[in-house]
Amino acid sequence: MVRLTPIRGILPVLVAVACLEGRAADWPGFRGSTGQGLAAGEKPPVEWSATSGMAWKASLPGPGASGPVVAMGRVYITCYSGYFVPGMPGGKVADLKRHLLSLDAASGKTIWEKSVPAKLPEEEKIRDHGYAASTPLVDDKHVYAFFGKTGVLAFHHDGSPAWTADVGSVTSGWGSAASPVALGDHIIINASVESGSVIALARQTGKEKWRAGGIKESWNTPVVIPDGKGGKQVVVAIAGKVLALDPENGKTAWSCATDIRWYMVPSLVHADGLVGCVGGRSGIASLAVKTGGAGDITASNRLWTSQKGSNVSSPILHEGHMYWMNDQQGVAYCAKAATGEIAYEERIPGAGQVYASPVLAGGNIYYLSRGGKTFVVSATPKFQLVASNSLQDGGGFNGSPAVSGNRIFIRSDKFLYCLGK
C-alpha cells in the first residue's frame, strides 16, 4: 500500500556530484564517486562463476562488511582479525586488529598492509557485522579509514600514516558502519554511534572543523546533494528524520519526518531535486522528499510514503525510478520516484538475505546476497532477471561491490574477487 501526497511545481535541478580526484573509471568511496552506486558508463560482466570469468582472487587477512574501493590502479579494503572471527573460536578482544590493504588492481597482489590495534575497551561480540564495516575513501593524497572508537585514520599512498582523529568513544552492539565522505576540503564522518554527531574533519590534518549533534540511531553514510542555489548540502537519515546540513558549519538547513520507526541503515539517493529513502522492517519503509526550503518541510515537500522498503541495503535511483532489494525477503522492487507507485515487486528465488548495497552498470543492477549469489537485473521498470552468479566460498558476503574499468570487485569474509577481463 502506498500513501501519496501530491506536490505541485517540482522543478528539475542540475545534479551535482561529490567527485574525488582520479580517473572517471575510479570507484573511490562507498557507492562510487557519487555515493549513489552508479557506474552507468562501465560494462562489467553479467556472468561468472568460481571457475570462469575471474581476473584474479586474493586472500584476505580477515573478514569485514566494508566494500572495496578502486583508485589510481589500486584496490583498498579493510578487514579485522584476532577476535570474534567467524568460524574461529576463542580469541580476546585485546587482540582485535583492523587492517587496511592496498592491492594492485591489475593482479590482486598486495602492495602494503597496515594493522591498527583496537582502542580498548571495545564492544564485545558485535552482532552479525564484525569490526570492519566502513568502506575506505581515497583521494589523490590520502586513503581514509574509519574504525569506530579507534578513530579516523589517514594514510599516504605509500602506506605511511598521515593523521588520526578521535570522533568519540561510545560503542554499540551493532558496531559502526558509516563510511567517510569527501566534500571540498572536508572529510565527513557520521559518528552517530561514537558521539551522536556528524563531524567534518580537515582533509589534510584531521582537525575538526564542525560538529552537528543529535544524530540518533544512524548507521548510514551521508550523501552530498545540490542545494538548488549553486551550493551543496550534506544529507543523512536519522531516527525519524532526514536532515540536510550546511557543509560550512553543520547547521540543519531543513528536515523531513520519515515516520520510519527503526534505526536508519540504508544510505539516501538523490536526483533532480528529489531524495529517496528506505529503512525499517514494518510500517512506513520508504519515502521521497523534494529538496529545498528551510526548517521542517514535511508538510510541503514530502512526496509519498510506502510500506515497501529495506532495512539494510541502499536503493538505486535511475531515470525516474527507485530500485531496491528487501534485505530479508529476497524481493526486488521498482517504484516511480516522483509518486511511489510500485512498477514491480518480484521475489527472486534463492536470494536470501541481502545486506550489500546494489550497483548499476551497463544498464543492469547487481544485487549481491550474503550467500555469495549475485543477481543481475535489468535497470528498467519491467522486471527482467538477466543472470544469476555464485561465488560461495564458505564466508559471508556483506560488503557492497565496486565497479571500475569494466570489472566488478566483490569481497567476502575470505577473499577479494576481481571479475572481468
Kindly list the strands in the beta sheet with 342-347, ordered across the sheet, starting from the edge strand earlier in the chain.
316-318, 321-325, 331-336, 342-347
CA distance 349 to 124: 35
Mark residue 269 as left, alpha or beta (left: phi above 0; alpha: psi -120 to 50; beta: remaining): beta
Q: Is the pLDDT of residue 36 over 80?
A: yes
Q: Considering the chain, what percentage of its residues have pLDDT values greater than 90?
A: 90
| Adjacent-strand bridge partners of 77 | 101
Owner of C-alpha cell 580517473: 23
Task: Kindly report whether the global pTM for this prediction surpasses the value 0.75.
Answer: yes
Q: What is the pLDDT of residues 240-255, one digit of tens each?
A: 999 999 999 999 999 9
What's the average model confidence in pLDDT over 53-62? Answer: 97
Give pLDDT tens digits for 144-193: 999 999 999 999 999 999 999 999 999 999 999 999 999 999 999 999 99
Q: Which CATH number fits domain 2-419: 2.130.10.10, 3.40.50.11540, 3.40.50.300, 1.10.3720.10?
A: 2.130.10.10
* 219 within 8 A of 263, measured Cβ to Cβ: yes
DSSP letter for 221, please.
Answer: P
Helix/strand/coil percent split, the chain, to 5: 5, 40, 55
Q: What sign results for the dihedral spanned by CA atoms 44, 49, 55, 57?
A: positive
How much is the pLDDT for 405?
87
Indicate if the pLDDT at residue 196 is higher than 50.
Answer: yes
Instruction: Name the one residue in this structure whose C-alpha cell is 501530491.
Output: 6
d(CA 183, CA 417): 30
